[in-house]
Amino acid sequence: MSKLAVITGTSRGLGHHIATLFLKKKIRVIGLSRHENKNLSRLAIEYQTSYQHMTCDLSNHHETMAVMKQIAAQLKKNQKVYLINNAAMIEPIHQAAKIDPYQLAKHVQVNLTTPMMITNYLLHVLNQKRGTMINTIITSGAAERAVHGWSAYCSTKAAMNRYIETVALEQKNLKTNHMIIGLSPGIMDTEMQTEIRKSTREAFDEVDTFIQYKDNKLLRQPEEIAQILMYILFEEQLSNGKIYDARNYL
């Protein structure tokens, strides 16, 4: 069975490192992001495999679906597809009453609607081609608690967790081989953390705590979380619908 990885948000951070590890396993990767990561193309040559960048604004559902249809046209019969829904945004960070509605709509599209659209569409296509999907959605501990200033982020991540559980239940009832899991990576040293630390105390009352995480070197490196995900995907017996916590593998 041939293998393919489709990964969102490969331009930097966790997505970049996940893509790197798939390439190292000689698994072909298609990366979706607004900006191309040329380093992944170089790594693909080094590891004697293939990396294909597809420029995509994941906040635009028309553009996203157009790209997904291009990917679907490349899928083979009986193929195993590792879908990694990694791309996400933290903005807007503010009290609910002060959030711009257009920023909110973009946030919900990127963090919730787009991963659902991509997953639903690939499930449909792979059912037709008798393929198998192994889908990981990067979630967050913010799905489990309320955080002042993060009403959008907490809400979309909580909804994403329930989506994971629901789709997994459907696959069990339908007796398919498709798997869908979540990975909560914890606090990572990424651009998202940089944005969080720029927040005002009025908008985000835990900002000082997050500054201390950085100052005290408590942030996890994204390459470490990528390695944990690969261990879960390739070394463990996957539990459909489970939200895995990276802290349990450190």
How far is it, in rounded angstroms, from Cα 32 to Cα 10?
A: 6
CA distances from 128 to 53, 65, 116, 122 (A): 25, 18, 19, 10
Q: What is the mean pLDDT of the chain?
A: 97
198 within a domain of the structure (yes/no):
no
Report if residue 210 sits inside a domain: no
- Hunting for tokens 């903005």 — which residue is that? 91
Residue 45 lies in a domain: yes
Cα 226 to Cα 24: distance, rounded to the nearest angstrom: 12
Q: Exposed, middle or buried by CB within 10 Å (0-12, 13-18, 19+), for 69?
A: exposed
Residue 30 phi, psi dihedral angles, 5° rounding: -110, 125
pLDDT of residue 250: 87
pLDDT of residue 37: 95
Report the C-alpha gap between 9 and 56 in whole angstroms. 9
Helix (H, G, I), strand (E, B) or coil at 37: coil
Pull the structure tokens for residue 197: 């630390």
Full residue range of the structural domain in which residue 17 is found: 3-188+222-248
Considering the domain boundaries, does residue 91 fall inside one?
A: yes
How big is the CA angle at 219 (ends 213 and 225), to the nearest 5 degrees?
155
Which tokens hold the place of 28? Answer: 């072909």
Radius of gyration of the chain, Cα coordinates, nearest whole angstrom: 18
> Is a pLDDT exceeding 90 seen at residue 213?
yes
Q: Per the domain annotation, does 138 fall within a domain? A: yes
Pairwise CA distance, residues 238 & 110, whole Å: 26
pTM (global) more than 0.85: yes
Task: Identify the CATH number of the domain in which residue 172 sits.
Answer: 3.40.50.720
Dump pLDDT digits (tens) for 131-164: 999 999 999 999 999 999 999 999 999 999 999 9
Q: What is the mean pLDDT of residues 16-41?
A: 97
Longest dimension (CA), the chain: 53
Torsion of CA 193, 198, 204, 209, to 10 degrees: 60
Tell me: pLDDT of 73 over 90: yes
Q: How far apart (Å, rounded) are the C-alpha atoms in residues 230 and 23?
A: 12
Which residue's structure tokens are 């985000």?
204
Q: Please state the rounded mean pLDDT for residues 24-51.
A: 97
Q: How many CA atoms lie within 13 A of 79 on its CB side?
A: 23
Per the structure, the count of domains in the chain is: 1
Q: Which DSSP category does 97 fall into?
A: G
Q: How many CB atoms lie within 10 A of CB 73?
A: 8
Any domain includes 195? no
**What is the rounded CA–CA span in Å between residue 199 and residue 233?**
35
Domain assignment present for 209: no
Residue 18 confidence class, pLDDT cut points 50, 70, 90: very high
- Residue 1 pLDDT grade (very low, low, confident, very high; cuts 50, 70, 90): confident
Strand residues in 44-121 grouped as ranges (E): 51-55, 80-85
pLDDT at 51: 98
- Residues forming beta bridges with residue 72, ordered by sequence position: none
- Please check whether residue 133 lies inside any domain of the structure: yes
